[in-house]
Structure 1
Amino acid sequence: MVRVAVLGFCALLGLAACKGGDDYDGPVETRVSSQNANDARVAKEVFGYIPTASSQPSQSFGGYARGCQAGAVQLPETGPTWQAMRLSRNRNWAQPQTVDFVQDLSRFAATLPGWEGLYVGDMSQPRGGPMLTGHASHQTGLDADIWMLPPQRLNLSRDERESLSSISMRRAGGAYTNSDWTEEHMRLLREAARDPRVARIFVFPGAKIDMCNWETGNRDWLRKVRPWHGHHYHFHVRLNCPAGAPGCEDQAPPPAGDGCADAQVWVDNILNPPPPDPNPAPPRGPLTMAQLPGQCAAVAAN
């Protein structure tokens, strides 16, 4: 239902970019690498089965939904204030600054009443790139999903990390929060958004509206919190490209202002969906190696 509402909302506003995949919030460009121009291999079939990081210096190449990562670092499965979840996916890899950010945020989470730290969901594959299932983004080692479930303990077994589920914070299809949503969730999101390493945070529209109504002080951080479909079991943090990384492609900054009026439009369109686009664009096929940055062939091979 939410997906239909959002696609209708995108059609109403003429946002063809909404077809770009999960956590998108920006234009998709099709770039064919001159180095890989004839490589027709499906990229997810290349990157989705590589079990370890490349033996290269750490660097992100390309954009969040069309890229890869060299020299990734693995978030330790368990730390003093975090646990990585769904270990069978092998998606607890990222660039060093992302791992540092997650650990820093987990230490803050551990100061919140009722939180022992963080349960960390998907980050990236060992060499980034398109995934076999799930996300369209998370390709450059600069994205991380943080579970909404407040950890009560941080000694979960491997099997428990596969079977335990997060909890949903939404009601009315994401237009509003439910009784599990707390001030501690908002404090955690605010702490993440205030971090200068962070470019965007994706969360369901009702949560953004609650934060807009809750914040009575400096509202600058709200600009980074972006309403998006889904994202009621977790929130998604996206980091900026690090300084001095010429191969990494940032998104354009979020629009000026706190974004609260935009979030209200999302809510209104969930509650009263506009008609669907009568001429939807065909779905994008899987990315090929030719469509990734030229460096990604070397990342996959090394």
Structure 2
Amino acid sequence: MTPRLILIPLLIAIAAASASAAWAQDKGTVDAKPLPPLANPNDPKIAAKELFGRKVLPAAMPTRVFGFYAHGCIAGAAALPINGDTWQVMRLSRNRYFAHPDMVELLKRLSEKAHKEAGWPGILVGDMSQPRGGPMFTGHASHQVGLDADIWLTPMPKRTLSRNEREEMSAVMMVRNDRLDVDTKVFTPGHLAVIRAAALEPTVQRIFVNAAIKKALCREAKGDRHWLSKVRPMYGHDYHFHIRIKCPPGSGAECESQPDPSESEGCSTGDLAFWFKDSVLHPKPPPTPPKPKPPMTMAALPAACKAVLAAPDAKQ
């Protein structure tokens, strides 16, 4: 079995273990303090997240993606401006609003479509990637190569949010208390329109949503439904949806995409049955708590990521 095929179920297991609280809901801080210097940053046993989490700006290198969504980095990342006519970036203290330029442009297009097609003032953008990608201190196994982004399922307000609101505001829960369907008081046709607009982008490979949201999309989508094949159920994702794009053209072997999803809509009873089993909706804790996995070190990342870390900061 290839490393990629081993990793995909591993990511699912990680997501399942982390589903108790939506990552988008974790609050930030207005008064973020820089991390202290590492005593020995060249120690091969040091966690890669300690190194990448201390980089506040992208690498001054040509844009290139190295590795897979859950073990890699990015050189020459671009920042999504924190304010646009039809978008605003949330949780600024995390410094996770960087990505491949293709993703940045996609989010700008999607925000305009959300305004025109769904009637939203715009979108609220959650975590993208760190300035140089790599593992994060909290919240994600993926988002390491600038090809992932989270979009809140809460429409952007008709005003500019304050810094404090961006750190403290919570997204709206879209899933019913019994976890079997969406909450129709808050989930609207506009949500379907925004997710469909994202899925229709040619470079988008997958969109992750809670299974209850996938169920609602399957029920409500009309006309051309081929885009539903890209929308995949995943643990959590009940406050936001996750966009994943393919490796950019010309990336070569240094960037590794997931295999394309099947062309099936994924809407049959059999397709969704697993996600609504009681053991999945209400998992019991294991008799013996699992031992924490050791953090990822630089040895687990592509060799090129060392050069990405060592490169000078890009100019702001």
Instruction: Calculate the TM-score normalised by the size of structure 2.
Output: 0.80
Structure 1 SS opposite 2:134: coil
Q: Distance in 1 between matches of 2:11 and 2:161?
A: 39
* Stretches of structure 2 lacking an aligned partner (at least 5 in a row): 1-8, 19-42, 312-316
Find the counterpart in structure 2 of residue 51 from structure 1. 56
Is 1:291–2:300 an aligned residue pair?
yes
Q: 2:163 aligns with which of 158, 162, 169?
A: 158
Of the three residues 166, 178, 201, the one matched with 2:207 is: 201
Which deviations, in whole Å up to 9, do the C-alpha atoms of 1:227-272 show, x marking residues without a partner? 0111111101001111110211101222341112322431244687
Q: 2:28: which partner in 1?
A: none
Correspondence 1:19 to 2:13: yes
Is 1:257 the counterpart of 2:264? The answer is yes
Distance 2:95 2:212 in 1: 31
Aligned to 1:181: 187
Preserved CA contact (<8 Å) 1:93 1:124: yes
Structure 2 residue identity aligned to 1:19: A
Counterpart Cα distance in 1 of 2:48 and 2:63? 20
Deviation at 1:174, TM superposition (A): 3.2
Let me know the Cα RMSD of the aligned residues: 2.4
Separation in structure 2 between the aligned mates of residue 157 and residue 209 of structure 1, nearest angstrom:
35
Structure 1 counterpart of 2:133, one-letter code: G
Q: Is the partner of 1:144 in helix, strand or coil?
A: strand
Q: What's 1:71 paired with?
A: 76
1:174 is paired with a residue whose SS is coil
Deviations along 1:163-210, whole A, 9 cap, x unmatched? Answer: 222111001353210020001000110110111110110100011011
User: How do residues 27-176 of structure 1 correspond to structure 2 at under 5 angstroms?
Assistant: 39-112=44-117, 114-176=119-181
- Cα contact 2:275–2:281 (8 A) shared by 1: no
Q: Per the alignment, in what secondary structure is the counterpart of residue 116 of structure 2?
A: coil
2:39 maps to what in 1? Answer: none
Which letter maps to 2:257?
A: D
With CA pairs under 8 Å and 6+ residues apart, which has the higher RCO, 1 or 2?
A: 1
Q: Which residue of 2 aligns with 1:248?
A: 255
Query: Would the aligned equivalents of 1:92 and 1:125 in 2 still touch at CA under 8 Å?
Result: yes
Residues 49-100 of structure 1 deviation map (CA, whole Å, 9 limit, x = unaligned) = 1100000011111011111110000000101111111111111000100000
Conservation of the 8 A alpha-carbon contact between 2:72 and 2:145: yes
Per-residue CA shift, 1:87-130, capped at 9, x if unaligned?
11111000100000000000001114551011100100000000
How far apart, CA to CA, are the structure 1 residues paired with 2:16 and 2:145?
Answer: 14
Distance 1:21 1:190, change over 3 A: same
Is the contact between residue 175 and residue 270 of structure 1 (CA under 8 Å) also seen in structure 2? no
Letter in 2 for 1:18: I
Identity %: 46
> What is the CA distance between 1:274 and its match in structure 2?
7.7
1:237–1:267 CA distance, 2 compared to 1 (3 A): same
CA 1:16/1:135 → structure 2, altered by over 3 Å: closer, same or farther? Answer: closer
Q: Aligned-pair distance for 1:22?
A: 7.3
